[in-house]
A and B are shown apart, each in its own frame.
Chain A
Amino acid sequence: MLDTSSSSDDAVPVARIDGLRVMFATRRGAIEGVRDVSFDIGAGETVCVVGESGSGKSVSALSLMRLVEFGGGEIAGGRVLFDRGYGAAPVDLAQLDQAAMRAIRGAEIGMIFQEPMTALNPVFTIERQLTEGLRRHERLRRGAARSRALELLREVRIPEPERRLTQYPHELSGGMRQRVVIAMALACSPRLLIADEPTTALDVTIQAEILALIDRLKRERGTAVLFITHDMGVVAEMADRVVVMFRGEKVEEGPVAQIFDDAAHPYTRALLAAVPRLGAMRGTDAPVPMPLVGRDAVSAEPVRGTDTPLLEVRGLTTRFPVRGGLLRRRVAQVHAVEDIGFTLNRGQTLSLVGESGCGKSTAGRSVLRLVEPMRGSVTLDGQDVLAMSGADLRRTRARMQMIFQDPFASLNPQMPLLEQVAEPLRNFSSMGEAEREARVAELFDRVELPRSFMRRYPHELSGGQRQRVAIARALALEPKLIVADEAVSALDVSVQAQVLNLMLELQAELGLSYLFISHDMGVVERVSHKVAVMYLGRIVEIGPRRAVFEDPRHAYTKALMAAVPVADPRARRTRTPSFKPIPSPIHPLGHEPGPAEYAEVGPGHFVMVSDSGY
């Protein structure tokens, strides 16, 4: 066990975790969530805790709040010293009773939770949830609490704060919700702010804003920040010091620059290597698998593909009806995908990037006709997919498959994996039971999963393994086209890297074409041959990956690139990004936006010149 003791011993730290050990009582007996973890956080300092999923980051944070107890955990050892200010001696939170903790929680330690979507109570207004803590800890009256809440909302830069107060969580966008959660955590000006993956679920643009916000708070108020993330880009952007955790233990700790430049621990190095860094592919045309520490050297051969088109999409438009009125007639339409066109070559990857809600998924699904497009043409191998009847379409589906964002959600929790992978075979071929099983076993080999997993259930696998199963399932019928909708977004970096490599490898071997949908620019840069940037249902810029990334022309593309955190602490941005909120894609019936017009700015590199709404 390596031990790097804290480097900043000059002042009394706000919080000091010392030999923390947390046990969970489960049906299989007690398990250790966190083992002997120690670190401390000083005032005005951001300590980032990084590590894979399940490495104990959240448990450590929850222990600081003494909230682990409510999740069935128990602090089995160690001390959690917290300096309550006023020069008093630090108290050991681990020994405090819950009543005393309640006075500290929310008032002196604020916490931002991982999931902005679920961290707010859906049935209470923002005002109610924001003022609750204030009224309790600071004994404010209703009016005073309200004005303080308004102040907080302004502080976190939420537009139209007055209106927000009366709204419900679901009426806010993810970014706004996360900002409300932050405001809530800041309500009583805590000395320590714990942020547990505050941006993981968010778009790059919103992420950039929130990171800037937390950073500003730290600087302006001198709040101690414990920042938990597994995104190295964010770490580089935020951290003063970094704590690396692995399977419940702390493996390394040090100043951010030291960790990035000169990581001592192999795990840290492996982790850093797995991060796709924007710009890493500068100067190359074709995707190359990522070099991974500790793995057998993967062939670093670039995957070139061919130049013969497989999929041609022209003028694809998909709109969703908004129904209303007594008779539930269509009153308006969501213009989810508006007049997009692209060509995908055999053995190549076309990436769709853009912010949440810009229509990437809808585009992908329209191609497979999982949603019915309104017009346009989709030609696969010379056959018009949109013109097909039900039976034909079903047969064609064998040649185009989809991998979904959430590997857990896209697998049936009640079905053994064998069955799930065998499902397409069952649907399309007349194979016998044994034959099918053999084929599934082959597929498991193909995606490097042990055959013994065939009898397992999805929840028994890790995220990466599940996504491999999803890939195996998509491969079962040997399709030509795979639509990968955020196929790696939910995975840990290291796992993500492996899945990406696997996909590239399969592409090289089987000549697959991918329609790769992602909002992670780093990933997109790594895997694509061509990139299409979407905004508000339209492709605003499309071209070879190299051209688009190295020479973005459209204003939106530029802004998007700028928002991506760079996994390099020296390249920190200083300016606060400001994004325009995306306009509504809902238009009244009969609204016909003009056709998208493009200008060719380079070979195969087109930029939209008509109004994109940006």
Chain B
Amino acid sequence: MTETGFTEALRDDGPDEPPRGRWRDVWAQFARHGGAVAGGGFLVFVTLAVLVGPLIWTTDPQTLDIRAKNLRPIWTGLWAADASVSWAHPFGTDNLGRDMLAQMIAGGRASLAVGWAAMLLSLVIGTAIGVVAGFFRRLDGVLMRLTDLFLALPILPLLLVAVTLFRQPLRASFGPEGGMFILIVAVIGVTSWMPTARIVRGDVLALKEREFVLAARSLGTTPGRIMLRHLLPNVLSPIMVSATLGLATAIITESALSFLGVGFPSDFPTWGKMLADAVPRMVEYPERVLLPGIAISLTVLGVNYMGDGLRDALDPRIRQR
């Protein structure tokens, strides 16, 4: 090494390679996470399946074909030669002869839509309340007591109230299914934001003591912008975790709601409801619980892994390492 080599080294040294585009970077990091890619891939697959599925598999999920009831999935033929199977219904049919494949597709669409929407809603509420409570000391007490209140609220009466008060107007403007969708999403969202709020608040309490928040304040940044631009991106990781758990809870809660009769119309399939409906016959027709059960689990797992990967990818510190 030359003399100037050593003394030049006194200059700041940092990575020198030209920076890549931010999103390219995010993608590169994401792609490195095997689980994330698999999870994301599965989600894309499922989403595509439920969106374009009905175009390919045109059987109507609500059509009853009572003569073809209780058909087994086509693959049962592999080990039980005498099983009643039909290529017209590759996943079999239920006890009223509705096509399981079509129901899986339609049910997936409903479950995923409810799951995502409710999860997003609860995240938005939870994060907003958490950030505000953590940031403004004066609001903290009130907001945290509000959280307690919501934790203590009995969900079932709340639901019934919501259904009573809002079903008719929502039905009038969005149709029976659309209205119910909004109602369900709202109810699940409104009753499940509390853990997120608590976690986010905790993190914000710690974050706002960090110097960069003070720095932002000294730069004349308004509290709103501080929360939005500085605090929010830094609480992404706990939010991701909440999101994963939230999606699972939302999908399952939806099924519990239909179970209680406050959900979608009874002939409107969702994965959760298919699972619940199939439980009494799970010995004779295990596929009817397994299909929706596996679909829910894989979706949740997929979101979990994708969340992990996304969290890593979005954090510039991890991204570079």
Q: Which of A294, A365, A419, A461 contacts B10 (CB 8 A)?
A: A294
CB-CB under 8 A from A416, the residues of chain B are: 22, 316
A residues 437-493 touching B (CB-CB < 8 Å): 452-453, 455-457, 459-465, 468, 470, 473
B10 touches A494 (CB 8 A): yes
Q: How many A-B residue pairs have CB under 8 A?
A: 135
> Which A residues touch B222, using CB under 8 A?
394, 427
B234: which of A26, A412, A424, A468 is its contact (CB, 8 Å)?
Answer: A412
Q: Are A412 and B212 in contact (CB under 8 A)?
A: yes
Of A58-66, A191-199, A396-404, which stretch is located at the interface? A396-404
Contact status B6-A414, CB under 8 Å: no
A292 within 8 A of B: yes
Q: Contact check: which of A402, A409, A415, A461 meets B218 at CB < 8 Å?
A: A402
Cα distance A498–B234 in the bound complex, in angstroms: 31
Mark the stretch among A3-11, A262-270, A343-351 that contacts chain B.
A262-270
- Cα A87 to Cα B210 with chains together (Å): 54
CB <8 Å contact, B18 and A404: no
- B317 near A428: Cβ-Cβ < 8 Å: no
CA–CA, A292 to B32, complex, Å? 44
Interface residue ranges of B7-25 to A (CB < 8 Å): 7-15, 18-19, 22
Asked if A404 meets B211 with Cβ closer than 8 Å, knowing A266-B3, A267-B6, the reply is yes
The CA-CA distance from A461 to B11 in the complex, in Å, is 12
B-facing residues in A198-231 (Cβ within 8 Å): none
- Verify if B315 is at the interface (C-beta below 8 Å from A): yes
In the bound assembly, the distance between CA atoms of A292 and B229 in angstroms comes to 39
A463 to B221, CA, bound (A): 24
Interface residues of B in 211-236 (CB under 8 A from A): 211-212, 214-222, 225, 229-230, 233-234, 236
Chain B interface SS verdict (over half): helix
- Give the contacts of A413-432 with B (CB-CB under 8 A): 413-416, 419, 423-424, 427-428
Check A459 against B317 for contact (C-beta < 8 Å).
yes
User: For B173, what are the chain A residues with a Cβ–Cβ distance below 8 Å?
Assistant: none
State the CA gap A27–B31 with chains docked (Å). 13
Q: Which of A370, A414, A427 contacts B233 (CB 8 A)?
A: A414
Most buried by B among A452, A460, A462, A498: A460
A299 to chain B, nearest CB (A): 18
Once the chains bind, are B215 and A404 in contact (CB under 8 Å)? yes
Partner of A274, one of B10, B12, B22, B220: B10
Q: In the complex the two chains form, is B219's CB within 8 Å of A294's CB? A: no
What interface size band does chain A fall in?
35 or more
- B214 and A460 contact, CB distance less than 8 A: no
Q: Which of A26, A428, A456, A463 has the most CB of B within 10 A?
A: A456
B320 at the interface (CB under 8 A from A): yes
Give every chain A residue within 8 A of B14 (Cβ-Cβ): 460-462, 465
Let me know if A427 and B320 touch, CB within 8 A.
no
Residues of A within 8 A of B15 (CB): 460
- Name the one of A28, A267, A413, A414 contacting B9, with C-beta atoms under 8 angstroms: A267
**Chain B residues with Cβ under 8 A from A463's Cβ?**
12
Give B230's nearest chain A residue, CB to CB. Answer: A412
Pair B19/A455 contact, Cβ less than 8 Å = yes
Q: Which of B19, B211, B219 contacts A401 (CB 8 A)?
A: B219
Q: In the bound complex, what is the Cα–Cα distance between A484 and B67 (angstroms)?
A: 84
**Which A residues are CB-close (under 8 A) to B8?**
294
What's the minimum C-beta distance from A396 to chain B, rounded to whole angstroms?
9
Chain B 131-175 per-residue mask, 1 if CB under 8 angstroms from chain A, else 0: 000000000000000000000000000000000000000000000
Q: How far is the CA of A382 from the CA of B30 in the complex (A)?
A: 55
Find the A residue at minimum CB distance from B207: A412
Q: Is the CB of A464 within 8 A of B3?
A: no
Q: Which residues of A contact B317 (CB under 8 A)?
A: 413, 457, 459
For the complex, is B4 an interface residue (Cβ under 8 Å from A)?
yes
Say if the beta carbon of A368 comes within 8 Å of chain B.
yes
Does the CB pair B212–A427 fall under 8 Å?
Answer: no
Nearest-neighbour CB distance to chain A for B172, whole angstroms, equals: 44
Q: B215, A394: Cβ atoms under 8 Å?
A: no
Knowing A462-B14, A465-B12 touch, does A401 contact B218 (C-beta < 8 A)? yes
Which A residues are CB-close (under 8 A) to B18? 452
Q: Does A517 contact B (CB under 8 A)?
A: no
Q: Does B233 contact A294, Cβ atoms closer than 8 Å? A: no
Expressed in whole angstroms, the Cα–Cα distance for A419 and B225 within the complex equals 13
Instruction: Report A500 CB to chain B, min CB distance, Å.
Output: 13
Residues of B near A402 (CB, < 8 A) are 215, 218
Chain B residues with CB under 8 Å of A102's CB are: none
**Which residues of B sit under 8 angstroms from A461, Cβ to Cβ?**
12, 14
- List chain A residues, Cβ under 8 A from B219: 397, 401, 423-424, 427, 473
Mask: chain B, 86-130; 1 = CB below 8 Å from A; 0 = not: 000000000000000000000000000000000000000000000
Q: In this complex, what residue of A is CB-closest to B314?
A: A414
Residues of A within 8 Å of B19, CB to CB, are 452-453, 455-456, 460
Which of B3, B216, B220, B316 is in CB contact (< 8 Å) with A413?
A: B316
What residues of chain A lie closer than 8 Å to B217, measured between beta carbons? 370
Chain B residues in 8 Å Cβ range of A453: 19
B263 to chain A, nearest CB (A): 39
Cβ-closest chain B residue relative to A473: B219
A427 and B7 contact, CB distance less than 8 A: no
C-alpha spacing A266/B219, complex, angstroms: 41
Q: Kindly report which residue of chain A lies nearest to residue B315, judged by CB atoms.
A: A414
Q: Please, which residues of chain B bring their CB within 8 A of the CB of A468?
A: 12
Rounded to whole angstroms, the CA-CA distance of A267 and B230 in the bound complex is 40
B63 CB to nearest chain A CB (Å):
51
The yes or no answer to A132 lying at the interface (CB within 8 A) is no
Chain B residues with Cβ below 8 Å from A270 are 6-7, 10
Instruction: List 10 additional A-B contacts (Cβ < 8 Å) besides A412-B229, A413-B315.
Output: A26-B321, A270-B10, A274-B10, A293-B10, A405-B211, A409-B211, A411-B212, A412-B230, A453-B19, A498-B10
Kindly list the 5 A-B residue pairs having the minimum CB-CB distance in the complex, ordered from nearest: A294-B7, A457-B316, A414-B233, A464-B12, A409-B211
What are some 26 contacts across the A-B interface (CB < 8 A)?
A26-B321, A247-B9, A266-B3, A267-B9, A267-B10, A270-B10, A292-B10, A295-B7, A295-B10, A365-B214, A394-B220, A398-B220, A411-B215, A412-B234, A414-B316, A415-B229, A427-B221, A455-B19, A459-B316, A460-B14, A460-B19, A460-B316, A461-B12, A462-B12, A462-B13, A465-B14
